[in-house]
């Protein structure tokens, strides 16, 4: 998948660590991660969280409010595409070995493994029993050959929508209609498609071309697309940040980005009034329940009440 903005920012934060690593070892393929041994909580005071910005499942101590990285392999990531990040994919960016995981705060379940060394899996969108993933196929030079949308069935197998092959980027689901973006390499833009997912043989319909970004969102039935600096449905717009989550139930826009001091910062904004409700430093993960946003940060847990 092409996601240039994310890779640039991740490189900004990790370049010093990689430089030190390169001085102490040859920068070659690391040993593949043994997935069954990876995700273990250190003690009873820890829970599993997803470090959303850095794309790692971590152990978070609810007494000391400190996080512990569980895997030291710099190529091993966990990917999420949604506000609720219970279904993830996990794999090594070089040796592959991708899996689909189900995450709770107390347990990580391995529910599907792709053993093909030239394939990677990324989450697209989940809604009830509709779980859609992107399967990307690479050549021997690690360049993307193609990607397609796949449905994860109740039999724990992936089945392909064969007419979606291309460079699939992001997706949102409205009932049985999937809206998804695809990268167009020849002019470095994105196209927007609509697909009825009731049959694997259905063909996508092109509904827009020439988008600057592949990021798309759905809020209360309205489709939002992205430009370089904003997210808009054509009538109203919001500033675009690194990570953006629209929540229908709370009417909140939750965003994470790098601030002017090069630290991570979360902003919580009312979608209806555009009023800034909270600004929170050093966010790792968050969840929304019982009328509040609970933000797990390095050094604290902060709760924001929803009016």
Whether 185 is in a domain gets the answer no
Pairing mode of beta strands 108-113, 96-103:
antiparallel
Whether 41 is in a domain gets the answer yes
Shortest CA distance to 57 belongs to which of 42, 43, 47, 65?
47
Check whether 51 has a pLDDT greater than 70.
yes
CATH for 297: 2.40.10.480
Pairing mode of beta strands 144-152, 130-138:
antiparallel
Which domain does 94 fall in, by range? 1-117
- Do residues 181 and 173 touch, judged by C-beta distance below 8 A? no
pLDDT band at residue 94 under the 50/70/90 scheme:
confident
The mean pLDDT of 87-115, rounded to a whole number, is: 93
Whether 31 is in a domain gets the answer yes
pLDDT at 18: 38
Whether 290 is in a domain gets the answer yes
Whether 155 is in a domain gets the answer no
Check whether 221 has a pLDDT greater than 90.
yes
pLDDT band at residue 142 under the 50/70/90 scheme:
low
The mean pLDDT of 1-9, rounded to a whole number, is: 46
Predicted structure pTM score: 0.87
- Other C-beta atoms closer than 10 Å to the C-beta of 204 total 21
Q: Where is 111: in which H helix or E strand?
A: strand 108-113
Check whether 155 has a pLDDT greater than 60.
yes
- Only one residue has tokens 């030190």, namely 20
Q: Which of 16-25, 91-100, 284-293 has the lowest mean pLDDT?
A: 16-25
pLDDT band at residue 6 under the 50/70/90 scheme:
very low
Check whether 43 has a pLDDT greater than 70.
yes
Structure tokens at 258: 């790098």
Instruction: Tell me the C-alpha to C-alpha distance, in Å, between residue 126 and each of 59, 149, 234.
Output: 24, 12, 25
3-state SS class at 163: helix
Q: Which of 117, 141, 172 is the last residue of a domain?
A: 117
Give the count of domains, the chain: 2
Among left, alpha and beta (phi > 0; psi -120 to 50; other), residue 17 is alpha
Shortest CA distance to 286 belongs to which of 273, 304, 272, 271?
304
Q: Which of 57, 91, 117 is the last residue of a domain?
A: 117
pLDDT at 11: 46
pLDDT at 144: 72
Residue count (the chain)? 307
pLDDT at 278: 98
Average pLDDT of the chain to the nearest whole number: 88
pLDDT at 143: 75
Whether 296 is in a domain gets the answer yes
Instruction: Tell me the C-alpha to C-alpha distance, in Å, between residue 67 and each of 50, 59, 85, 300.
Output: 10, 6, 18, 11
Percent of the chain's residues with pLDDT above 70: 87
Query: 229 or 17: which carries more pLDDT confidence?
Result: 229
Whether 223 is in a domain gets the answer no
**Cα angle value 7/244/76 (rounded, 5°):** 35
- Do residues 62 and 47 touch, judged by C-beta distance below 8 A? yes
**Per-residue pLDDT tens for 236-245?**
999 999 999 9
Q: Which of 117, 147, 179 is the last residue of a domain?
A: 117
Give the Cα separation of 8 and 62 in Å (integer): 31
Alpha helices in the chain (DSSP H): 4-24
Q: Which of 114-123, 195-204, 210-219, 294-303 has the lowest mean pLDDT?
A: 114-123
Whether 218 is in a domain gets the answer no
């Amino acid at each position: 998948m092409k996601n240039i903005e994310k890779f640039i920012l991740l490189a900004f934060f990790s370049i010093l660590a990689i430089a030190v690593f390169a001085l102490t070892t040859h920068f070659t393929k690391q040993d593949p991660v043994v997935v069954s041994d990876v995700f273990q909580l250190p003690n009873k005071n820890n829970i599993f969280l997803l470090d959303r910005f850095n794309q790692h499942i971590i152990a978070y101590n609810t007494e000391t409010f400190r996080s512990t990285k569980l895997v030291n392999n710099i190529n091993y990531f966990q990917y999420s595409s949604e506000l609720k990040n219970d279904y993830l994919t996990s794999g090594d960016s070089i040796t592959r070995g991708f899996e689909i995981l189900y995450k709770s705060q107390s347990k990580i379940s391995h529910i599907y493994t792709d053993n093909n060394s030239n394939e990677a899996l990324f989450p697209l969108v989940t809604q009830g029993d509709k779980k859609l993933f992107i399967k990307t196929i690479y050549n021997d030079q690690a360049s993307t050959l193609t990607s397609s949308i796949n449905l994860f069935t109740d039999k724990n197998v992936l089945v392909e929508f064969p007419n979606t092959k291309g460079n699939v980027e992001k997706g949102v689901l409205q009932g049985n209609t999937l809206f998804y973006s695809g990268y167009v390499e020849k002019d470095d833009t994105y196209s927007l498609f609509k697909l009825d997912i009731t049959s694997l043989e259905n063909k996508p319909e092109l509904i827009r071309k020439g988008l600057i970004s592949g990021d798309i969102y759905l809020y209360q039935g309205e489709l939002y697309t992205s430009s370089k600096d904003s997210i808009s449905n054509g009538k109203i717009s919001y500033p675009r940040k690194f990570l953006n989550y629209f929540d229908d139930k709370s009417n909140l826009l939750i965003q994470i980005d790098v601030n002017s001091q090069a630290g991570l910062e979360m902003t919580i904004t009312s979608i209806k009034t555009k009023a800034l409700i909270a600004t929170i430093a050093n966010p790792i993960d968050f969840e929304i329940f019982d009328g509040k946003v609970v933000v797990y940060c390095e050094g604290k847990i902060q709760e924001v009440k929803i009016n």
